Amino acid sequence: MLPEITGARRRLALARLTTGLAVLNTLWHLPPGDALVDEWSRKEEGERERPGRLSPEQYEAMRRLAFVSTAAWTLGAENKAVKFAANISFAAVQRHVAQFDQRAWNYNSNLNVYLLLLSLTDSRGSLAQTDPAEDDGSAEEVAAAVLLAMRLYYGCLYFQSGLSKMLLSGPAWADGRTLRGSWAELGTRAGKWLSRRPVTVAAAASAATLAFELLFPAAQIVLRGRPRALGAASLALHASIKATMDISFWHHAVHALPLFVLDPGAERHTARFLRVLRKR
């Protein structure tokens, strides 16, 4: 049985705001084009320039287009041209930056997936002319399908992480040595303190993390009536990682709020906030 979906259109509106703000924050903090070129020239001295790479001017133009179009979409623009521009320009910027380090090409590509999924339907919620509560069943069914896809993708990111651990290290990853070393090397004050505890502490945390990642997709079915519990568990995991190693996967974890945790009724408040911004 598939996970239960309630208030799908309102949840999509919350996810739209979350994704839009995450994309805008990413674009705002990206390095300028000249800085990337300088770094590449040092790393690739003597090598031929890769075909298809944007020039600094092209990169900055795409970055500005992505920022403006995504901002318009976040504020409620539903024009197909706006959505097309936001998806294509942000993908081009992401591709350009990913060439900086091929090992991290998929670091925040989840934002591209969410942006695309939310562009497939009208995800404005109360910003649309019709109230989501008064829509016909077909609109709600489409919204439910998109929301389900986003939830499953959210879980697949965990499963991918757990699977990579199993393929690269096997069950031995859960013996605690890897996590204990990470606490010692990368840890905050709390993490370094934990690294000096018995290895059984790190082993328990490692095993719990691995089980969480591998079982999260299945948990969406088993706990289909308790999405808030799943979202809260996800947030707790990322809070513990941040507290012990100061590593933030904020662009992933923040989506637990609209997809699982927040009450769909909260969308009315965000819509009111967006209307105020649009009038300015």
Tell me the pLDDT tens digit for each residue of 140-197.
888 999 999 999 999 999 999 999 999 988 888 999 999 999 999 989 999 999 999 9
Residue 96 tokens read as 């350009």
Q: Looking at 48-57, 71-80, 170-179, 203-212, which range is the least confident one?
A: 48-57
CA angle 30, 33, 35 (to 5 degrees): 85
How far apart CA 50 and CA 52 sit, in angstroms, is: 6
Q: Which residue has the higher pLDDT, 139 or 26?
A: 26
Q: Answer yes or no: is pLDDT of 74 > 60.
A: yes
8 A C-beta contact, residue 122 and residue 78: yes
The pLDDT of residue 45: 57
Mean pLDDT of the chain, nearest integer: 88
Which pLDDT value is given to residue 106?
A: 65
**pLDDT of the residue at 100:** 75
What would the two tokens of residue 14 be? 């919350």
Read off the pLDDT of residues 87-110 as tens digits, 9 standing for 90 and up. 999 999 998 888 776 666 567 999
Percent of the chain with pLDDT over 90: 63
Q: Please give the model's pTM, rounded to 2 decimal places.
A: 0.89
Q: Return the ∠ at Cα 37 (arms to 33 and 39), rounded to 5°.
A: 115
